[in-house]
Structures are given as structure tokens and as C-alpha cells.
Structure 1
Amino acid sequence: MTIAATPSLDHTPLLADEADVRAHPDRFRVLTGDRPTGELHLGHYFGTLHNRVRLQAMGVDTFVVIADYQVITDRDLPAGINRTVHGIVLDYLAAGLDPSRTTIFAHSSVPALNQLMLPFLALTSVAEMQRNPTVKEEAAAAGLTSISGLLLTYPVHQAADILFCHGNLVPVGADQLPHIEQARLVARRFNERFGDGQQLFRPPQGLLSATPALLGVDGRKMSKSRGNGISLRASEDHTAQLIRRTVTDSERHITYEPQRRPEVANLLLIGALCADVEPAELADQIGARGAAHLKAVVTDAVNDHLRPLRARRAELATDRGVVRDVLRSGAERANDIATNTLDDVQRALGMHY
């Protein structure tokens, strides 16, 4: 069957206006999340976690999904996924997410969310899913010679994540905008085909992160899968070891030139984010003292910045029931909303018996 694009009367722009979110936080609901494939690192902290806490403080209703089903899109289910999920929740709480204001839940705990995949798949062509850059990148990163059905449908699963709770604001990097576009397409097609003149789903908008992607210790993008990140839960000594291993270049004088000297610029950016200064200012402070001094300065900045988070995390870890309670309460709210959404969808499909 060919999925034909139907003209839409909805003109919601792809990107949300930050000023509008600040002025009217009650009009927005955020959906964001993580695959539990490893420990959260500095890239997550500055790229997503910090932003989630900021939106929460603004009064935006925030949902965070731990996408455990998506772990098996491109790999065998790893031993210890329970431990990984537990650690991620502790990182969330230590970073400032408040379960009384932010709903934290796991894919596998919300059956109605995953059931939305079926009607949404009927609105999406195989060619559209194959074109999604994340599907290609994840397959390449995992060294897959064939793509599983779950990985192929990953963009539609993400659409279900966003739309089950009527999320209309998704914080993303520029490379993730195709996922927002896919969710918008699903929302519009459902409204047009089954809505009978009603807008059941509002096309979501992206909110771009102001922080560029950070590089890992090997000079590639910091990633859980590559194991090249500076973990939020690492000890101060281990953090120092990781930063000493970070790739730089042969020039002694330190300058902030992201295009010409990406590795040095990345270290400067990490140090600047942690010390709350501009990267060029930090470069001027280091000057001709070289890469070793740069790494020492960045190590101190990272450890100083993460020290309160790590202390809070250690304190939370002493309560064996805190993670269970957070996930349980989050799943209860997510299930209530997902069940209502699925009920509305089934009514629109004429399948409410």
C-alpha cells in the first residue's frame, strides 16, 4: 500500500520558540528520554539533563521515558539492564529531576503506548522508515549486516512515545529533527484520515539544544555505545585519568578554534561549561602552557562541577527503594494517560466494542 501525503491545515512550525515556552509553560508538555545502553555522561548532562531540569523549573509538564525496549533494536539484551536502568534513574534524580514534577517511566511498563505502534505503522511507509538517518547510523554503529524490524520501526516507536501523552515539545539536537518530522507526519495523517474533522494529535515541535555535541576521549562524538564518555558517576580520580587520555594536537599554544582544532576546542568547551565561562576566555587563561595544563584545568572544572551531583547520587543510592518508587509512580501516570489515548484512537478507528 502506498502512503500518500495529504495536505494539512495545521501550520505548527517544526521548531518551538523558546520565548513562547518561557511565557506560556502551561501550554507545553515535554517528552524526552534515553536508551539504557550504558552510563550517562557529560554529553547527556549538558545536552539533555540540564535542559530537562531547566524546563521542569519553568513549569513545563515533563515526561522522561527510559526506552528499554529500544535496547534490542540493534543488540542482544545486555546482562544487567536492570542495573543500568537503576543507575540512570539515580543520575536523573541527582541532576535535579523531581518525580513530583517530572514523570519518569520505562517503555516496558506502559503496554498501551507500545500498542499505538500498530495504527501508526499503518500511516508510515517502509521507504520513509528506511530514509531515517538514525536507523542507518545505529545499524552502522552496531555493525549490523541486516536491520531488525524493531530498528526499522524505531522512528514510529518514537512517534508513539511523543504522541501517547500528547507531547508537543521535544528537546533535540539538530541531528534528531527527522524524528520530530516523522512524529508530526504520523499526527497529521492520523488526524486527516481518522479524525473526522477533529485534531486528536497536535504535531509536536522540536526545541533545539544550545549546547553542541561533545566529543569523547577518542575524538569521536561522546556516546554510551562507544564507551568514550566521562561518566557522571565516575570517581574524581577516574575522571582525571579519562581527561588525560583525551586526544589533542601538537600545538602548544591553546586557542579556541572549533573548525581547525576540534579536539582542543572540545576540551575548552567542556571546561567552560563546567566553570560557567566562555571557551575563548578559558583558552586565553591557559595560553602557551600547553595541553597538559589544559587537561588539568578541565579536570578540576569537571570534578568541581559534578561534586554536588555525585554526593547527592551517593546519598540517594543508600535508599534501596527510591528508584523502584520513582518508576512505579511514573508508570502509573503514564499508563493512565496512554490508556486514555489508546481508547481515543480506537474510537476514531471504529474499534471500540
Structure 2
Amino acid sequence: MKNRILTGDRVTGKLHLGHYVGSLKNRVELQHQYETYLLLADVQALTTHFENPELIKENLRQVALDYLAAGIDPEKSTIFVQSLIPEIAELTAYYSMFVTVNSLKHNPTIKAEARARGNSEMNYGFLGYPISQTADITFCKATLVPVGEDQIPHIEQTRKIVRRFNQLYKPILVEPTALVGEVPRLVGLDGNNKMSKSMGNALVLDSTKDEVNEKIKKAKTDPSRIHKNDPGNPEICPIYAYHQAFNKEQSNEIFEGCKKGQIGCMECKQKIAGSINDLLEPMRDKRNQYQNNPKRVDEILMSGTERARQIAKETMLEVREAMGLNYFS
């Protein structure tokens, strides 16, 4: 059997260029090597959108369109909806019985995200996110989970939960391995934070050509450059970081030109806007095709969810038998 990958996104809004360079581009490549399951995490989106659940319906379809436009092939990858796999919720409940609150509180990723969001009192769903994530990974017995280094603690928590379950009951669950890659963090258009739609510093993947040009035009650059011929510091300039991500061939030339004051910020921005639009143009075309055929998108999601559900049912039969919960079989 091919190694099976589980990855996905919380459906909190359209994906942006940061998502593309950080994970989506890699997923498109990995689907040709591995059996790939892509999770539309609508339940986990409620950890921050519980007051506005009506937003999730639209966000779910927008993220699905982002996947398909970027090159995810529904014949190679199974795209499925988390809330429509009740076995994930059942597994989450079982795991939560033997995972301590203390271990969750000390998960470094949870601690960091809590600080960033200013959560003095975390809700249960947010605190228990690693348990829910473990259920996502294990219901389909994924062997590999693509992550950046900052997500390794989550995968370690998953491995501990799997080992504990297998020791307590029966060794039926697969202990997944983190597929660690270099996940670049794309600086936001404001130059101060990672790209994030909630911070208003992102370029979403369905941006029009004019929107890209306008947002890049207003993006922050090296604050020390006042005049076109002033020597610059490209290593601290967000626009140069975009050249490294989307215009690699010219990035060395841009670096030297900026350092020597031979290229102005406006010219530099025009070049990177052109490169980004070259990347997004085929995505726009493919997105329009799917957007004009919403029935096809729904078919892809329903078909993928049905495939995932079938695997979930098989796993839960084994889980209930191992735990002695198959009362009437």
C-alpha cells in the first residue's frame, strides 16, 4: 500500500499566497507520490468562528475552489468534509478520556497560539485541538503528515495518543510520521507579520490582476530607502522576500540592484506583481471553470467524503472491537 497522507485546512476563509508557498504547492506535488486525503476542517474552524457558524458554509466552498484551482486533482486526492465523518467525533471523544489536560496545556503550539490570540481563558475546543487533530489523522490510518517544524509538537502528541491506545487496548492504530519540510513563512504586505487575511496583509489566491498590482503597489518596503538611488537592505524588505518565493530566477539580480541603489522600489514592485500574476493566471482560469459549475464542486466534495467515510467506518469497527464496545456483534 502507498503511504497515506492526511493534511488540510481550517475553513476560516479563502487561502492566500502564504498558504500556497507554505503547504498547497507541496500538496499538489505530493499527491502524485502518495495516497492523499485533504481535510476541510469545518468543525475545527468553530474554535474561532463559533459565534458565526453561517460563515463556514461559504468558506468551505471557497477553500475547495482554492484547492482545485491550485492543481489538486480529485482523481488523485480525496477532499472531504470533517463534520460529515461522525467517526472523527467519536474517536475524539474516546481519546479525550485518557489525555490529560496538563499535557494539552503544555503543548508548545497551543501555548504559542493562545498567547498570539490573547486567550486568557481557552475554550475546550481550542485546548483539545490536538486530540481532534489526532482523530483526523488516525481515522484513515495516515502514515505521513506534512508539517512545518512548528507543528511537530502536534504530531508528537498524536504519536503518544496512538501508543497509549494501542497499549491499553489492541495495536490497531498507525503511529504517523511527520513529513517535515522547509515551510517558508511569507511576510505580510505590511512587513510586520506573517501573511494573514485577518490582519489585512494578505493576497488571496483568487485576487484579480488589478488587485495584485494595487496591493503590491501599497506594500511596505525597506523604510531606509527614501530616494530611488539610495542603497537598500533587501534582506529586510517584504518585496524581496516575494521575489525569492515567486521570482527566483531574478532574485539575485534584484538583490544586487537594491543593494547598489540601481533599481527603485516601484520597478521592483512591478516586477514581482508580474511574477505573481503569472502564477495566479492559470489558477484564475481553472477556478472560473469550477465556479461556473458548482454542481461539479459539490460532487467532488460528496464523493471524497463518501470515500473517507467508508474508511472511517472500517477503522471504527476495529476500534470498538479493541475497546470491547461492539456490544451486539
- What TM-score, normalized to structure 1? 0.85
The separation in 2 between residues aligned to 1:100 and 1:335, in whole angstroms, is 17
Aligned to 1:343: 317
Provide the residue aligned with 1:162 in structure 2. 137
1:42·1:231 contact (CA, 8 Å) conserved in 2?
A: yes
1:80 CA drift (Å)? 2.8
CA contact (8 A) 1:74 1:142 kept: no
Describe the superposition over 1:216-274 as per-residue Cα deviations: whole angstroms up to 9, x where unpaired.
112201123333211000111111222223222213434543xxx2xx1x422322332
Check 1:274–1:347 CA distance in 2 against 1; reply closer, same or farther (3 A cut): same
Structure 1 residues 210, 111: CA separation in 2 closer, same or farther (over 3 Å shift)?
Answer: same
Aligned alpha-carbon RMSD (Å): 1.8
The residue correspondences of 1:1-353 to structure 2 (distance < 5 A) are 26-58=1-33, 60-75=34-49, 76-195=51-170, 199-218=171-190, 219-249=192-222, 250-251=224-225, 252-257=230-235, 261=236, 264=237, 266-277=238-249, 279-284=251-256, 287-288=260-261, 289-353=263-327
Q: Quote the Cα distance in structure 2 between the aligned partners of 1:290 and 1:276.
A: 19
**What residue identity is the alignment partner of 1:208?**
V
Whether the 8 Å contact between 2:10 and 2:42 is mirrored in structure 1 is: yes
Distance 2:141 2:208 in 1: 39
Distance 1:335 1:271, change over 3 A: same
Tell me which amino acid in the other structure corresponds to 1:228.
Answer: N
Q: Is the 1:267–1:298 Cα contact (8 Å) retained in structure 2?
A: yes
Matched position secondary structure for 1:156: helix
Amino acid at match of 2:319: V
Structure 1's unaligned 5+ residue stretches are 1-25
Write the letter of the residue equivalent to 2:61.
Answer: H
Q: Provide the C-alpha distance between the structure 2 equivalents of 1:171 and 1:280, rounded to a whole number of angstroms.
A: 30
Distance 1:294 1:78, change over 3 A: farther
Equivalent position SS for 1:74: helix
Any idea what SS the aligned residue of 2:275 has? helix
Deviation at 1:346, TM superposition (A): 0.9
Q: Give the AA of the match of 1:299.
A: A
- C-alpha contact (below 8 Å) 2:144/2:176 kept by paired residues: yes
Q: Identify unmatched segments of 5+ residues in structure 2.
A: none
Alpha-carbon shift at residue 279 of structure 1 (Å): 3.6
Q: Is the 1:30–1:167 contact (alpha carbons within 8 Å) kept by the matching residues of 2? A: yes
2:11 and 2:93 mapped to 1: Cα distance? 24
C-alpha distance in 2 between matches for 1:277 and 1:285:
14
Give the distance between the partners of 2:253 and 2:100, measured in 1 at CA.
50
Shift of 1:215: 1.0
Query: Which deviations, in whole Å up to 9, do the C-alpha atoms of 1:120-178 show, x marking residues without a partner?
Result: 11231101111123333443444434211111100110011111111111111111111
Deviation at 1:203, TM superposition (A): 1.6
Distance 2:290 2:98 in 1: 44
Q: Give, in whole Å, the separation in 1 of the partners of 2:294 and 2:40.
A: 19
* CA distance in structure 2 between the partners assigned to 1:138 and 1:210 by the alignment: 20
Separation of aligned partners in 1, 2:303 and 2:91: 22
